[in-house]
Each structure stands twice: as structure tokens, then as C-alpha cells.
Chains A and B, each alone.
Chain A
Amino acid sequence: GAVVSQHPSRVICKSGTSVKIECRSLDFQATTMFWYRQFPKQSLMLMATSNEGSKATYEQGVEKDKFLINHASLTLSTLTVTSAHPEDSSFYICSASRSGRLSTDTQYFGPGTRLTVL
């Protein structure tokens, strides 16, 4: 299957600082990438959908100015948590899909990034 990587796998930062998480599709071109947030023993909550070369589409309730998403190339999307606070501590997961809107392709998931804000 296709491989999606995330970097870093773990990050600890101080409150008020910004943190960038990278998501890369290693062996395919990802037209669409997704960012999820997951709390312990809970489901994945979709934060936003990003298509290469265009602005991300955020889900209701997700602050676009706080969670900046960039999808500048077909293999890389980044999530920047700006002015992080302890309540932003969570597990962030990205996924990637080859196709666009009429996607019949499977979504491949990265291994996740654990963010801890002190």
C-alpha cells in the first residue's frame, strides 16, 4: 500500500509558541490531504481538507487562523498550530488520497503526531 509519513512523531512546546507538523506522501501524488485530531480513546475528528494549490476547507468549529494548513505540493501538506495552548494538546493524524472530488481511491493515513503543550 501507499506510504504516508508525518514529522515529527512527538513534539513538546511551550504555551504561546507555534508548531509545524509535516505530512508527506512518499510514493504517490496526493491531490487531497486531510487533517484529523484525536483525543485518547475517542474517534478521529476531521479538522480540514486540503487540495494541492488551493486553500484548505475547514470543518465547522475549527479555527482557520489557529490551525494553518498549507498544501503547496502534491506530496507535502503542513499543519501549523499557532500560539499553542495546553488545550491544543492532542494526537494529530494526516491522511492522503490520490484522487480529487470524485475520489474512488483509498485514503492512506500517516502514523500521527503527538503534540503536548506545556
Chain B
Amino acid sequence: AQTVTQSQPEMSVQEAETVTLSCTYDTSESDYYLFWYKQPPSRQMILVIRQEAYKQQNATENRFSVNFQKAAKSFSLKISDSQLGDAAMYFCAYRSRTSYGKLTFGQGTILTVHP
């Protein structure tokens, strides 16, 4: 079974600074997807970024980018120019290619942004 580990229960960053959230996973599969989801206080899950394992290029979405290291099974999220609205709980998630889209989530990291 796949597992996803987020070793940072809480992180904080100053507004306009950069922060990196860590995620590692364990799998025996070679084809899969990785995601970062944001859950603000409203508790609505929001997709931040998605990475296909077969793609070597790291995914980027505006101020959000990932560092995907397939051999190391690492998938970190970098938030540049942090904004107050980035404050939320962030979840790393894994999805097998052939699992009906079933997601395995990490424990989550609470990100605080200081003005």
C-alpha cells in the first residue's frame, strides 16, 4: 500500500517570503500522480498543483512550484511571494494510475503567514 508522509506539522512564513513544504511517499508503482491540496479555514479542498510521475519537468502554477524527485520519492511544494491568503492546511496526496482516482493523503501541514 502507498503511504504519504508530511513531516512538518506546522510551518510559518513572513508575507512576501518563500516557504517550502515537504512530502515523501512510498510506492512500488512507476506510474502515478501527485498533488498538493490546500484547505483554508472554510475547509473547502482546493487543488494547488498536480504532477504526473512520468513527467520529469516540475509542475508550476503561478507562485506555486514543486520539486519532484522520483528516485528519492520526494515531492515538495514551494510557495513564492507568500500572501496572507496562503494560510491554510496543505495536504500532499498520491494517486495510482489505476485506482479509480483514489487519493492517499499525508498528515497535512498547517501554514501560517505573518504580515
Q: Which residues of A contact B103 (CB under 8 A)?
A: 34, 44, 46, 95, 107
Contact residues of B with A, CB < 8 Å? 37, 42-47, 50, 89, 91, 95, 97-108, 110
Contacts of A107 in B (CB 8 A): 95, 101, 103
Q: Which residues of A contact B110 (CB under 8 A)?
A: 41
Contacts of A69 in B (CB 8 A): none
Q: Chain A, 91-112, contact with B by CB distance < 8 Å: what is the 0/1 string?
A: 1010101011111011101011
B108 touches A95 (CB 8 A): no
Closest 7 CB pairs of A and B: A109-B45, A103-B101, A97-B101, A43-B105, A111-B44, A112-B43, A44-B105
- Whether A51 is near chain B, meaning CB under 8 Å from some CB there, is yes
19 contacts between A and B (CB under 8 A): A1-B47, A34-B101, A34-B102, A38-B43, A41-B89, A43-B108, A93-B45, A95-B103, A97-B101, A100-B100, A101-B98, A101-B100, A102-B98, A103-B99, A106-B47, A107-B95, A107-B103, A109-B44, A112-B43
In the complex the two chains form, is A99's CB within 8 Å of B101's CB?
yes
Interchain CB contact (< 8 A) of A49 among B42, B43, B97, B100: B100
Least Cβ distance of A81 to chain B in Å? 18
Known A42-B108, A103-B101; further 10 A-B contacts with Cβ < 8 A = A34-B103, A38-B43, A41-B89, A42-B107, A43-B91, A43-B105, A44-B105, A49-B100, A101-B100, A109-B37
User: Is B108 a contact of A32 with CB atoms below 8 Å?
Assistant: no
Docked Cα-Cα span, A105 to B105, in Å, equals 17
Separation of A61 and B86 alpha carbons in the complex (Å): 34
B107 and chain A: residue at smallest CB distance: A43
- B91→A44 contact, CB < 8 A: yes
User: Which residue from A46, A100, A111 sits with its C-beta under 8 Å from B42?
Assistant: A111
Chain A residue contacts of B102, Cβ below 8 A = 34, 46, 49
Contact A32–B105 (Cβ < 8 Å): no
Write the nearest CB–CB distance from B96 to chain A, whole angstroms: 10
